Amino acid sequence: MRVVFRAGAARTAVAAEAEHLGLRRVLVLSGPRGADTARAVADSLGAANAGVHTEAAEHVPVPVAEAAAEAALKADADGCAAVGGGSAIGLGKAVALRLGLPLIAVPTTYAGSEMTPVWGLTEDGVKRTGRDPVVLPRSVVYDPELTLSMPPALSGTSGVNAIAHAVEALYAPDASPIVSLMAEEGTRALAAALPEIAADPGGLDARGRALYGAWLCGACLGATTMSLHHKLCHVLGGTFGLPHAATHTIVLPHVLAFNAPAAPDAVAALRRALGTDDPALELYRLGGRLGAPRSLAELGLSAAGIDRAVETAAAVPYANPRDAGPDDLRAILRAAFEGRPPG
């Protein structure tokens, strides 16, 4: 993987990376909201521009992935550039998974998925994930200027979503000293930058530091096994259609509070990164300072949905530092549903 990181990089670096990869026809993928940025990137490709497909959707529904793959075939594309957040990059990964096309990622949020070989697809209310090196972007172009149009509230939830990758990497069964250092540093960078962005959304320096943190946190996710937090969020997103970043922001403090007794080293790293004795409570308060939704009920989950989420999550094994039975899952989700402080 190659990484380009500088303000204004999207104007020239995507074309340079396509040339470096030997690509002659690049299809640019995005969601509807990022269509203007995607078209600007496509225009920068010059003769290598194979068109723009702007139909990315959250949680990558299978029909959306199939339509994008068909668009790539019709355009005779030999590569794709995904411009946007996790949905656009997830769609690019789905096309890479199906067709084997090289992918260039141009993130416009702090999701961090551009640094991972993890793909996700949703079908019939079930979100499946997997790992395959073919979906790992060949090049990533980080341009802090592209994040300036992201509203402060979305900036906040997107950044806490990235922090969730680092938190789980710290207590993953395949954690390593290097990944733990990256996780601590990524958390520190994001937790410091996000309140500055909320106070001054046009501050490019804070945007750049948040993007740097997201890079580190995403790389942590790519190097380790996902645990209970991601499992619950995948269920809530795939089964109930809850928004990805906001769901992570709400659920993370409660899962961390549950896992903390079994993960003392992870808690110690988070105490250093967040400057607090209670990382779970600090992440809950951070969400409040950033104007994020406070409860799953606010996102549209019904009380009746909790039992269904518990049943779905309990049916699939996952790594976690502490055993979590159905009653534990129900307690975590109930606290997140009500929006009360963790613990």
Instruction: Confirm if 106 and 128 have CB atoms less than 8 A apart.
Output: no
| CATH number of the domain that residue 300 is part of | 1.20.1090.10
The predicted structure's pLDDT at residue 318: 87
What is the Cα–Cα distance from 300 to 200, expressed in whole angstroms? 29
| CATH number of the domain that residue 60 is part of | 3.40.50.1970
What residues pair up with 26 in beta bridges, in sequence order?
Answer: 49, 79
Task: Identify residue 81 by its one-letter amino acid code.
Answer: A
Instruction: Confirm if 252 and 164 have CB atoms less than 8 A apart.
Output: yes
Q: Are residues 136 and 159 in the same domain?
A: no
The predicted structure's pLDDT at residue 282: 98
What residues contact 234, with CB distance under 8 A and at least 6 apart? 120, 127, 129
Instruction: Confirm if 106 and 83 have CB atoms less than 8 A apart.
Output: yes
Residue 25 token pair: 């026809």
The predicted structure's pLDDT at residue 274: 98
Residue 37 token pair: 């940025």
Instruction: Confirm if 52 and 14 have CB atoms less than 8 A apart.
Output: no
Place of tokens 């997201």: 214
What is the Cα–Cα distance from 280 to 327, expressed in whole angstroms? 20
CB atoms within 10 A of CB 325: 10
Range of the domain at 31: 2-147
Q: How many domains does the chain have?
A: 2
The predicted structure's pLDDT at residue 343: 84
The predicted structure's pLDDT at residue 178: 97
Q: Are residues 284 and 181 in the same domain?
A: yes
Residue 299 token pair: 């996102």
Q: Are residues 88 and 209 in the same domain?
A: no
The predicted structure's pLDDT at residue 235: 95
Domain assignment present for 343: no
The predicted structure's pLDDT at residue 202: 94
Instruction: Confirm if 321 and 174 have CB atoms less than 8 A apart.
Output: no
The predicted structure's pLDDT at residue 111: 86
The predicted structure's pLDDT at residue 246: 97
What is the Cα–Cα distance from 201 to 61, expressed in whole angstroms? 31
Low-confidence ranges of the chain (pLDDT < 50): none
What is the Cα–Cα distance from 181 to 177, expressed in whole angstroms? 6
